[in-house]
Each structure stands twice: as C-alpha cells, then as structure tokens.
Structure 1
C-alpha cells in the first residue's frame, strides 16, 4: 500500500510491516497504525511514521546504542497487553527530541516505545525506573540528522 509522509513523500509499504498501537502514542491516542522507516544515512535513527496522519512521525533510536545499561522496568500487565512475557521478548525504542541546535538533542528514557514484532503490536509505556528522564541528553551528531 502507498502512504504519504511528511519527510519521505509518498512511499510504498507492505501491510505486514504495519504495527498496531491499540492505545496510540501518549498525547496522540487517536493514531493507531505506524510503520518504522530507516533514516537515510543512519544505522541508528528510524522514524515511527503514522500510517493515518502523514505529518506525524517520531525519530526513534535503540537506547542501548547510547545507554548500554538501559533496562526499563515495565509493568507486567502492560507487557501482557503486548503479548510479551518479558521486555527482552520485545523491541525497545526511545523517542529523540532534536531542537534547532542538534547538540541539545535528548532522548526519552522514561516512556519507551515497546514493540512486539511477531504480533505487530506496540505501545508507549512508562518505565518505573526513578532515574530515567524524559529529556536525557544524548550526543548524536550525524550530518544526516542535521539536514532533517
């Protein structure tokens, strides 16, 4: 199927690549269907693109790329809703916030995106770890990110 996107124009995606978010994303609960798109020129950054709203896309990263000790504690019932037995059975991504000055980029470690790739389910969940911040500074300088 074809979808329109803000950053990539019209793209072709496979139906089986669509991830369903029954609860939406925090603050955007009405958006339920997303696809992951690779960021050109980056192995680290992906975009969580809404299938329903072309202007809604979030840059996401594997937090372990920057924080190797990242181990979010997630409520067991939230994991069960995603049909996961443990966080290790899923894919964990964190949302980047990139201001005009990319040197001030932050990552949200407090509310990771957790995916069950087998069932194509996703949710933004709250990590119970008290030390994790919503705006954790991260050093992520790539020319391709600055061009976005």
Structure 2
C-alpha cells in the first residue's frame, strides 16, 4: 500500500510492516498505526511515521548505540500487553528532539518506544529508572565548521 509521509512524499509500505499501537503514543492517543522508515544517509536514525496522519512522524534511535548500558525498567503488565515475556524480546527505540541548534539534540530515555516485531505491536512506555530523563543530551549531529 502507498502512504503519504511527512518528509518522504509517498512511500510504498507492506501491510506486514505496519505496527499497531493500541493506545497510541503519549500525547497522540488517536494515532494507532505506524511504520518505521530509514532516514536517508543515516544508519542510526529512523522515522516512526503514522500511517493514518501523514503530517506526524517522530525521529527515533536505538538508544544502546549511544548509551550501551541503557536498560529501562518497565512494568511487567505493560510488557504482557505487548505479548512480551521480557524487554530482551523487544525492539526498543527512543524519540529524538532536534532543535534548530542541532548540537542541542536530546533523546527521551524516560519514555521508550517498545515494539514486539513478531506481533507487530507497539507502545510508548515509561521507564521506572530515576536516572533516565525526558531530555537527555545526545551527540548525533556534528556542528559544521565554517
């Protein structure tokens, strides 16, 4: 099927790639279906693109690539709703916030996106770890020298 996207015009998406978020994403509870799209020229950034709202997409990263010890403590009942036995069975992504001054980019370690890729289920959950912040500094973009 073809979907319109925020940044990539129209893209072809296989039905099997659609991830269902029964409760939506925090702040966007009405959006239930998403796909992951690779960011051109980057092997670390992906876009969590709404299938139903072409103007909504979130940049996401695998937090372990930047924070090797990242291990969110998540509510067991939340994992069960995603048909997961443990966090080790999930794909975990975190949302980037990229301001105009890209060197001030932050990542939300407190509210990871947790995916069960086999069941095509997803949710944004809250990590119980007190050390994780919603706006944790992360260096993804290098400031260009002029």
After superposition, the C-alpha distances for 1:41-86 in whole angstroms (9 at most, x for unaligned) are: 0000000000000000000000001000000000000000000000
What is the rounded CA distance, in whole Å, between the counterparts of 2:132 and 2:55 in structure 1?
A: 29
Q: What's the counterpart of residue 24 of structure 2?
A: 24
Q: Is contact 2:111–2:127 with CA below 8 Å preserved after alignment?
A: yes
**Equivalent pairs, count:** 144
What is the rounded CA distance, in whole Å, between the counterparts of 1:38 and 1:70 in structure 2?
A: 22
What is the rounded CA distance, in whole Å, between the counterparts of 1:128 and 1:5 in structure 2?
A: 33
Unaligned runs of 5+ in 1: none
**TM-score if structure 2 supplies the norm length?**
0.97
Unaligned runs of 5+ in 2: none
What is the rounded CA distance, in whole Å, between the counterparts of 1:57 and 1:3 in structure 2?
A: 12
**1:8-47 to 2 correspondence within 5 Å?**
8-47=8-47
What is the rounded CA distance, in whole Å, between the counterparts of 2:73 and 2:135 in structure 1?
A: 18
CA RMSD of aligned residues (A): 1.2
Q: What's the counterpart of residue 94 of structure 1?
A: 94
Q: What's the counterpart of residue 134 of structure 1?
A: 134
What is the rounded CA distance, in whole Å, between the counterparts of 1:130 and 1:10 in structure 2?
A: 40
Q: What's the counterpart of residue 81 of structure 1?
A: 81
After superposition, the C-alpha distances for 1:4-25 in whole angstroms (9 at most, x for unaligned) are: 0110001110000000000000
Q: Is contact 2:19–2:120 with CA below 8 Å preserved after alignment?
A: yes
1:51 aligns with 2:51: yes
Q: What's the counterpart of residue 66 of structure 2?
A: 66
What displacement does 1:142 show?
5.8
What is the rounded CA distance, in whole Å, between the counterparts of 2:94 and 2:142 in structure 1?
A: 17
**TM-score if structure 1 supplies the norm length?**
0.95
Q: What's the counterpart of residue 124 of structure 1?
A: 124
Runs of 4+ in 1 over 2 A off after TM superposition: none
